[in-house]
Amino acid sequence: MYRTTLSFLLAAGLTVPTSVSPCGFHNYAPQPTLVDRLLGSDQIVLARSAPNNPFRFEAYEALEGGLNFSEIPLLVDSTTRRRFALDTNAAVLFARDGAYGPWQRLAYVDAAMAPVVRTVMARLPSWELGEGTDRFRYFTTLVGHPEDRIHKLALRELDLADYSLLRSLDLRIDTPRLVARLNHLNENEFKAIRILLLGLSDDIQLRDRLAKGVQYNVRSGGTYLGAYATALIELVGPDAVTNLAARYLTNREIPLQTRELLIEAIALHGGTDDQDMEASISQAINSALWIDPRLAAAAARQFGARGNWSLQDAVQALLEEGTVLGVANKQDVSHYVVLANEALEKP
């Protein structure tokens, strides 16, 4: 899909004439972002109140597609009308998929948001071709933006990044800002990425907070267990892996689904050049598997999903001993062993 660049109108500051699998864990799916919606749209426009009707939106600039459509069937709400009255250069960004798809209101575009929209639209063609690293690097520059809506826009985008990529980004983390909003009732959608960023902050004073987050989510089967465990391991290092395994992985009273989230968090930190971390992971997971072979399928799924074949000997032995029960579990473990053998045979 060919994408036009922003016109002089947007580049000059929105002067409007009078007449636009994730960092997510397997129990958590991030919501579509602004960029996701733009990538899936054939028509992208900027609109304001119509000159003859302040309650009706009228598109005046096409950022993608054209203006050859009847109207945007959405009313200009009172808050937006007031904002338009105060800022004659502001607009609302709308997009839709195809010529007949429903219009989606994506963003209020003022002087603060205009440079973001301009940059996103300019880079959208390369992002559409899969240039994900550049996309996340750009939003890394916005995570500390003083405008809260742009800060949150950046959080949404970073929430989609693979964890290994997130770790490699040059993040400047404002710990007090993240902590202050961590448990805000109306901002749960940002909680997982905020937790992960806290783990990447190097602020060891957060250790107890993250450990308590793990403890609470283990008890409640909470959505954010994977994020808390991942962040704790990132912040504390190999000792966190050892402690998580000893306290939770080998506890048969904790549901297997809950313990798989901990295995997933541990697997995210494997396959690196950190020998201490690799040794800690190997010892923790292998010990847990011998204590409770029911974890074999979960370990095979999570380590296999990341191309980590270090558990081959352990899970193969359990499979041969007949301690892996259930058809689906045996299939997952067998599949892991087959892939591990194939990987080892490659030159």
Note whether residue 13 is domain-resident.
yes
What's the CA gap between 125 and 172, in Å, rounded? Answer: 27
Strand arrangement of the beta sheet that strand 43-50 belongs to: 53-64, 43-50, 91-96, 104-109
Note whether residue 251 is domain-resident.
no
Write the CA distances from 110 to 11, 62, 150, 246, integer angstroms: 12, 17, 11, 52
CB atoms within 10 A of CB 275: 9
Give the model's pLDDT for residue 1: 41
Note whether residue 75 is domain-resident.
yes
Note whether residue 264 is domain-resident.
no
Q: Domain limits at 41? A: 8-31+37-119
Give the model's pLDDT for residue 3: 40
Give the model's pLDDT for residue 27: 66
Give the model's pLDDT for residue 132: 78
Note whether residue 344 is domain-resident.
no
State how many domains the chain has.
Answer: 1
| CA-based torsion, 232, 233, 235, 236: positive or negative | positive
pTM of the model: 0.88
Note whether residue 162 is domain-resident.
no
Note whether residue 94 is domain-resident.
yes
Give the model's pLDDT for residue 16: 40
Note whether residue 156 is domain-resident.
no
Give the model's pLDDT for residue 66: 87
Identify the segments of the chain with pLDDT beneath 70: 1-28
